[in-house]
A and B are shown apart, each in its own frame.
Chain A
Amino acid sequence: MAGGILVVSEHLRLELADITFEMLGAGKKVADALGAPLYSVTIGENIAPLALSLGIADTVCVIDRPHLSMPSPDTIASLLKGFIEQKGISLTMIGGTNLSMGIGPLLSMKCQLPFINFCTALRVEEGTIVFTSQLFGGKILTDICLSDNRGIVSLYPGAFPPEGGRSERTAAHESVDIPVEESKIAFKRFIEPEAGDVDIARQDVLIAIGRGIQNQDNVKLAEELAEILGGVVCGSRPVIDQGWLPLSRQVGKSGKIVKPRLYLALGVSGAPEHIEGMQNSELIIPINTDPGAPIFGLAHFGVNEDIFDIVPPLIEAVKARKGDR
């Protein structure tokens, strides 16, 4: 029998994150195909109750002790090294999230195992796991295999259905004790998001702007379109980092997750970090000069043109229809 498949459950403020169930679903698929046991491990302080809902795993483990409420990547990697050795784990899955970033490389070094990042799909072919990772802003995919299926992989959030990792089975958990040195990094406090003028997660209509908006002066054009459509303007990371929109308007991995009725994206390429935040919008219409922009892959309608050619007549067309009523 193959070595175990381990899912490192992810949680924040005593709530399990969706990525945990996404990984469990993917892990279950691989474990079943290989005839390998599926483990989960939850690391933290007072987190044992979280393990109850991880029953899809054959063995549900917790490392629950004081001072682990926000452990550093190095501490988690040290604990996982001990766990992998103790349980005979072949493949370790971690979340490709901001919270877990850093764990993969550190664990890779401690265990002398390879680490694969950005995984969005996996399959088993003749006993070998084939991982598909996305690179270069989601434009390129690559298939990779590990020697003896041994290694560490980070799964991209939103790439695997969380339903596949949920189970009615209530799991009894096993407490695991692994000694670890105290980290030099000390968690001090959470800093809540700045309250913006509007909550973009509650809007029906969002006009998203990306790097294609070119400069701050052009943001006015998007605002004019948003106003006529009764929506608000939001943006991808580069727009926020340039200071053209406040942080409260950011959509994506570090920003808000949005599900508006309309997501009209102006000059947004659709980097994976952005798609993570808007992929469940009801109607997605990107306008972009790059026909290879990944955002077209999940759009309902698309326009492969310059936003500055389309938006002014679009504003007029919307005005005309509103005037008709």
Chain B
Amino acid sequence: MNIVVFLKMVPDVVEELEISSDEKSLDTEWLRMIISEPCEHALEQAILMKEAYGGRVTAIALESPEIDDVLYTALAKGADRAIKLPGDWSGISSPLEAQIYSTLVSEGIVGITDETLILTGSQAIDDLTGELGAYLAGMLDLPYIGVVTGVTVDTTSKQATVFKEFSGGLKGEFGVPLPAVLGIQAAEKPPRYVPVAKIRAMMKSIQYETRQVSPPAVSARFTAKKMFKREVTGRAEMLKGSPEEISNRIADILADRGLL
């Protein structure tokens, strides 16, 4: 199989997020970037499929802080090829990102065969304009399905069987002909851990490729008026004191409500 996985970086929301002075974007100075969680699962699903059906995995990402580690990690996990697209892509929208990736196909850097599966994360926390995978499928005229949590492939008929989550644990099974684009919500197994030593060894033994791509023409399709932090004070009464004092207060609240 020819499995292509696009990896996206997003701000780590465990860290404090600050708004830039233009009030229309995040202040990137102190931003810590990490791989988008669904993309980490997409990579894992790609490696699982390579192990099950053979073939090659190509991991591709736009340049971003920490992206080198992410690409080397992908190689250490089992990807055969990694490609970085240099440039300042901060705040890029999904349709523009899809446009860039579709040029990799049109320029022959990434080939699409009847054994190709393109995997993306199902949705990222900053997908204000929607999911990358759907845009990419539209541009490449390939079938697309998102919120995927499992894939099997019949390599003879070139058909994938795809499992999509709905809600309440209900899933749907779909038949999808290859080539196709899938938005992965969760891999069939938790993303594997690779020791730092293996990643460092990978850095010495193999290099990722870099490919220059032209930034697509940007046409403003909507106007971002203002970005602001959500007030989280809400209605909560915050309990303060020593751990014992807080614990006793919680226990009192539970007792008052008849929960003990």
Interface residues, chain A, with chain B CB atoms under 8 Å away: 12, 70, 72-74, 97-99, 101-102, 104-106, 108-110, 113-118, 130, 133-147, 151, 154, 183-194, 204-205, 229, 237-238, 240-243, 247-248, 250, 253-257, 261-262, 269, 271, 283, 285-286, 290-294, 296-305, 309-310, 313-314, 316-318, 320-322
Q: Who on chain B is nearest to A253 by CB?
A: B167
Alpha-carbon distance A317/B251, docked complex (angstroms): 6
Q: Judge whether B130 and A108 touch: CB under 8 Å.
A: yes
Which single member of B13, B171, B175 contacts A136 (CB below 8 Å)? B13
CB proximity of B46 to chain A, nearest CB, Å? 16
Which single member of B37, B129, B173, B248 contacts A317 (CB below 8 Å)? B248
Residues of B within 8 A of A74 (CB): 137, 143-144
Which single member of A105, A191, A271 contacts B94 (CB below 8 Å)? A105
CB proximity of A17 to chain B, nearest CB, Å? 9
For this complex, 14 residue pairs linking A to B, each with C-beta atoms less than 8 Å apart, are: A98-B166, A101-B131, A108-B130, A116-B128, A137-B125, A141-B227, A187-B174, A188-B174, A229-B260, A242-B190, A254-B165, A297-B234, A298-B236, A310-B247
Residues of A within 8 A of B95 (CB): 105, 108-109
Tell me whether B127 is interfacial, beta carbon within 8 Å: yes
Tell me whether B177 is interfacial, beta carbon within 8 Å: yes
Q: Judge whether A151 and B222 touch: CB under 8 Å.
A: yes
Q: Judge whether B172 and A187 touch: CB under 8 Å.
A: yes
Residues of A within 8 A of B217 (CB): none
Which single member of B19, B131, B244, B251 contacts A105 (CB below 8 Å)? B131
Q: Who on chain A is nearest to B147 by CB?
A: A98
Give 11 new A-B contacts, CB below 8 A, not counting A98-B167, A187-B174, A296-B232: A72-B143, A98-B166, A102-B131, A102-B183, A105-B135, A183-B143, A194-B169, A261-B257, A297-B230, A298-B236, A303-B250
Q: Who on chain A is nearest to B239 by CB?
A: A303
Alpha-carbon distance A135/B189, docked complex (angstroms): 27
Q: Judge whether A296 and B233 touch: CB under 8 Å.
A: yes
Q: Judge whether A241 and B190 touch: CB under 8 Å.
A: yes
Residues of B within 8 A of A144 (CB): 128, 222-225
Residues of A within 8 A of B130 (CB): 104-105, 108, 115, 117, 154
Q: Judge whether B228 and A299 touch: CB under 8 Å.
A: no
- Given the interface contacts A70-B172, A185-B176, does A114 sit within 8 Å of B222 by beta carbon? yes
Q: Judge whether B143 and A254 touch: CB under 8 Å.
A: no
Which single member of B164, B165, B236 contacts A301 (CB below 8 Å)? B236
Within 8 A of A (CB), among B129-161: 129-131, 133-135, 137-139, 143-147, 161
- Given the interface contacts A73-B134, A242-B190, A314-B251, does A185 sit within 8 Å of B128 by beta carbon? no
Tell me whether B64 is interfacial, beta carbon within 8 Å: no
Residues of B within 8 A of A318 (CB): 251, 254, 260
Residues of B within 8 A of A190 (CB): 170-173
Q: Judge whether B243 and A309 touch: CB under 8 Å.
A: yes
Alpha-carbon distance A250/B131, docked complex (angstroms): 23
Residues of B within 8 A of A290 (CB): 14
Encode B56-95 as 1/0 by CB contact (under 8 A) with A: 0000000000000000000000000000000000000011
